[in-house]
Amino acid sequence: MKNYQIIATLGPATETRIVELIEAGATGFRLNCSHLSWEQLSRYLLRLEKVFHHVGNSMPVWLDLQGSKLRLGLLTKKLIVEKGEIVKFIPDYNDKNGAIPFPHQPVFREITHGDTMLIDDGRIELKVSKSSHEEIAAVVLRGGELQSFKGVTFINKLPKLKEVTGRDRTFMEQTSSLKFLGYAVSYLQNAAELQLFRDLAGGKPMTAKIEREEAMQNLVEISEIANVTWLCRGDLGTNTNVFDLYHYERHFAKIMAMSGKPYLIAGQVLEHFTHHAAPTRSEIAHLGFLVDLGFSGVVLSDETAIGEYPIEVVKFCHDLFEYLPER
């Protein structure tokens, strides 16, 4: 195969199909730690070790760490919010008395009336109507189904990361002996934040996830510390003007090409493939365009984690990269 990377996110759709993903063309894997308990993560890592032993070769596995990204807590039942509805958030990990869990107590002190709240890459939008240290009330402007651990963004409110704490630190410490692992850090603002994680990584490779305008502004410095960089359009499109995504893609590729390091595209790469047996024509054309910009490959998320055609989407990427001319 030509020198392109296909990173497949593992999830319920592929936990037991790792060998099939490799045979289809996957060159590495991603585990989203924000959606996994330590017990679940351990199960994936043990399965990967067994597969690598079976095939006689290990492959890169990226643990995607939360960084300063905000997420919902655990929802114990299906919850659909509708336009005009008023919903309440509490600073707990678990839902309680109909309130939505949002385990980020410091944020409750910063949020004010009128703030815009986006959930799940902007699919759900709310306007804060009331806030206190114990509760946030918000009006639903654009409804949908809420799911556990989905990302949350407040427009013009940027949490700052001062140290690696909680689950991220625990996961890094408990996986330090696995040689095939690297760490991907979410929601970076600058190189200093990435350095906090590199200092704990024990020499393991680091991926910088570019999801904020601040990270785009600091891309040169971030790329100097990172081994690999991903342009994550889902959160980037939520945190910036979505009409600027084309500009950001070109600017990102220009800067990263000068770095000489691999850079990949992530976020809704072939999203149509999640529930359909083929991509859209526009997805195909855009992926070819990104290859022309020098992108080193793709990071597949929902397509392989929860999608209905995880093996097919990996094979499609492999076949497309084989068909395209060498860069």
* CATH superfamily label, 5-68+164-323: Phosphoenolpyruvate-binding domains (3.20.20.60)
Q: Give CA–CA dist 136/60, Å, rounded.
A: 41
> Locate tokens 């497949």: which residue?
8
- Decide whether 5-68+164-323 matches 71-154 in CATH topology: no
Per CATH, the number for 71-154 is 2.40.33.10
Listed as own residue / partner, the contacts of 293-296 with beta carbons closer than 8 Å and 24 or more positions apart are 293/249, 293/250, 293/253, 294/253, 294/256, 294/257, 294/263, 294/327, 295/253, 295/263, 295/264, 295/265, 296/3, 296/4, 296/5, 296/262, 296/263, 296/264
What is the chain's Cα-based Rg?
19
Residues of the chain with pLDDT under 50: none
> What does pTM read for this prediction?
0.85
Local structure of 61: helix, strand or coil: strand
3-state helix, strand, coil in the chain (%, to 5): 35, 25, 40
pLDDT at 34: 86
Q: What residue spans define the domains of the chain?
A: 5-68+164-323, 71-154
Q: Give CA–CA dist 168/151, Å, rounded.
A: 16
pLDDT at 234: 86
pLDDT per position as a tens digit, 56-91: 999 999 999 988 888 899 999 889 999 999 999 999
Torsion of CA 73, 124, 122, 184, to 10 degrees: 20
Q: Give CA–CA dist 241/59, Å, rounded.
A: 36
pLDDT at 327: 63
Q: State the DSSP code for 326.
A: P
pLDDT at 284: 96
